[in-house]
Every structure is written in structure tokens, then in C-alpha cells.
Amino acid sequence: MGPLSGVKIVELAGIGPGPFAGMLLSDMGADIVRIDRAGQVNPAAFDRQNLEPLYRGRRSIGVDLKHPEGVDLVLRLVESADALTEGFRPGVTERLGIGPDVCVARNPKLVYARMTGWGQEGPMAQAAGHDINYIALAGALAHFGRAGGKPTPPINIVGDFGGGGMFMAFGVVCGILEARQSGQGQVLDVAMVDGSAVLMSMMWGLMHLGAWSEELGVNVLDTGAPFYDTYETKDGKFISLGSLEPQFYAELLARLGLADVGLAPQMDRTGYEELRTRFTELFKTKTRDEWNAVLRGSDACYAPVLTMREAAQDEHLQARGTIIERNGVQQPAPAPRFSRTRPEIRHDAPWPGQHTDEALHDWGLTDAEVDKLRESGAIV
């Protein structure tokens, strides 16, 4: 069992970063009951398998949160939970009757984790938004792109999953550890805009040192340096270079046959245009596989640029079991890895309401109580 075995969490169903946080916590062994709204339970959809890895590892119960007994059921689960996670706009769970004040009154040790894009307070708190907006305001999006171009969204990895889901999971574990020492729970305000800003911490430090420009695409790490970039190969595929340190850069030049051609010193920007031109032309003379034979596994800091399906077939990732398959569904394996309390995926992604009876029994309800809730329409 994973290192969070024995931890119990109630997850109010949401999309994107909320389920991602739940996946991280359940991968580590937490027993998570996902509360899906009864109206989302569609029996007609059961003719196919649920394929979404973000929802793996936990069980789902269908609850009518507009039914008084449905609300009371959630509060009863809260009484024995270590944490509750939700991803609604500020004020929604209060209107449902399951806000932090009510829940903490039922369980003073509860960690009540709330995740939004803009945060629980501030002028933007009630506004709609998505990853692209959060990382834009946080000062992150402005630095993804090439010189002369426009900022390019790094899909929704930075805001939703980095600034949101991972900070939610981290905050929940921190909160539970503190509650076990103090005997008191607390409310977590997880804002994707805050987390995205934290992910830029190193760049803030570099800027204060005069080593980072706010101009797009001119810094060493944002494609401003030709030795930290991607290049197209003869077969229309791409490779990546990250030869930052002098010894790694020297290794790269030696393997490319450029060690003795009179290039400018590595950090001399006056030589970047010539170097980029040489790299661009040179990498188009061989296929990606041919460059693998020259550079892969060396200290040149090189890797082929792989698609998801290609990554699943890569020999290194296969050796580590980084991409696994469950019931025909390819997905990343739990990470990080522990030597003793090994994480595992205990359940495939559930259908909404799939485990209503099973989970409620395990969380302390009797058969008679479950039957009564079903008859009233509070659960499905």
C-alpha cells in the first residue's frame, strides 16, 4: 500500500485539476470517496468503459446534493474523513450546505481544501477563467514563446495541473500532518494563479540578479540560446538540446564535429545566430533515429522529442514502467516511487455512482441506512 494508506478523503466531483489532485492522492494510497451529483449518473452510458485516468484509484457514489438527506450524508462522511476537496467557485458549497464552517463543525480536525483559478478572495474571485488566463495573470504565459512571436500556451500543464492540482495535493498532505499534531483542521485556499506564480520562483530570482529579461524568447531557457532548443531532423521529426553547462556543451560540439570550427564562446551572444544556423542545417542532415545513435545517452543533454504514443514505446520509459496499461488504457504510472510503501492503482476510473453501496458500507453505513437513502432519492 502507498504512503497515504489509512488517509480518508471526500472529493466533491469536478473537472481537470481537482480530479488530478485526487488521482495523486489516491495513487499514494488514500481512500477517496468521490461525490458525483445524482443527475450526472447516466445508466445509458454504461455500455462503454470509462477511460479517464484522472479519475482512477477512487470510488464514486451518486448523491443528490439538493436533497436534505444527500447533504446530511456528505456531512456524515466528513465526520470520519481527514480531508475534503472541492473545486467550485467561492460560495457554492456554502449554498449547498456543505461549506467549510458546517463541515469543520462536524469534524474539527478536517482539512477543507478549496481550489479555484483566482482564489477565494480578490477582485477576480467570482470571474470565470481557464488555465491560459491564470498563467497569463501570474506572469508565466508571457515567457513561453520565441523571439518575434507571441506567447504560446503550454497546453494546460502549468496552471491546471502544476499550479492547481499538485498544490492541492501538497496542501492536503501538509494540512493533514499539521492537524495530527495540533488536533485542529483548517481551510486551504488553493488558487491556480498563486501556484502558477510560485512555479516562476527561479525566474523571479534570475530577474533580480539581472540574468532574466522579460523580453520574449531571448533568455537561455526560453529558446534564446541555440544550445537549449529543439531542432527538426531529416524525417520531419524533432530533437531537443539542453547543453547548458560548459562540459556538456563541449560534449555536444565534439559529437557534432563542431569542436574545432572556430565558434564563438558558448555564452557569447554575438555568436548565437551563426550557431543556430549551423545546428538547424546540421540536424536536417540525419533522421531522428540517426541522431539518437550519435547523441542519446551521452552527456550532451539530448533527447528525441516524442509524442505520447512514442513515449509509451521508448526503451527507457519501458524499463522504468513509466507508462502502464490497465484494461487496454495506456496511462502514466503513479509517481514518485517509494522503496517500501509502493503506490498502486487500486481501481480503474469509476462511473459516477458505481460504488455507492460498497463505499458507504466501508465508511460505516448499514444496509438499512443505505436502503433508506436510496428510497428517498438521496443517493443513486
Residues 52-90: tens digit of each pLDDT = 889 999 999 999 999 999 999 999 999 999 999 999 999
Residue 323 and residue 317 in contact, taking contact as beta carbons nearer than 8 Å: yes
Out of 67, 72, 130, 347, the active site residue is: 130
What is the pLDDT averaged over residues 192-212? 97
| Residue 44: pLDDT over 90 | no
What is the pLDDT averaged over residues 165-190? 98
CA atoms 99, 101, 106, 108: torsion sign: positive
Our answer to whether residue 260 is catalytic in this structure is no
Fold of 8-199+323-376: Rossmann fold (3.40.50)
Q: Do domains 8-199+323-376 and 220-320 have the same CATH topology?
A: no
Residues 83-109: tens digit of each pLDDT = 999 999 999 999 999 999 999 999 999
pLDDT category at 37 given cuts 50, 70, 90 is confident
What is the pLDDT averaged over residues 300-328? 96
Fold of 220-320: formyl-coa transferase, domain 3 (3.30.1540)
pLDDT category at 47 given cuts 50, 70, 90 is very low
SS3 content of the chain, % helix, strand, coil (to 5): 45, 15, 40
d(CA 75, CA 196): 32
d(CA 160, CA 190): 11
Q: Any idea where the domains of the chain sit in the sequence? A: 8-199+323-376, 220-320
Contacts within 8 Å (CB) and 24+ apart, 265-268: 266/227
| Residue 50: pLDDT over 70 | no
Alpha helices by DSSP H, listed for the chain, are 17-27, 68-79, 92-96, 100-106, 131-137, 167-182, 192-199, 201-208, 246-256, 272-283, 288-295, 308-313, 315-320, 356-362, 367-376
d(CA 346, CA 2): 10
Residues 292-306: tens digit of each pLDDT = 999 999 999 999 999
| Residue 39: pLDDT over 70 | no
pLDDT category at 51 given cuts 50, 70, 90 is low
Our answer to whether residue 130 is catalytic in this structure is yes
Out of 36, 131, 160, 348, the active site residue is: 160
d(CA 378, CA 234): 61
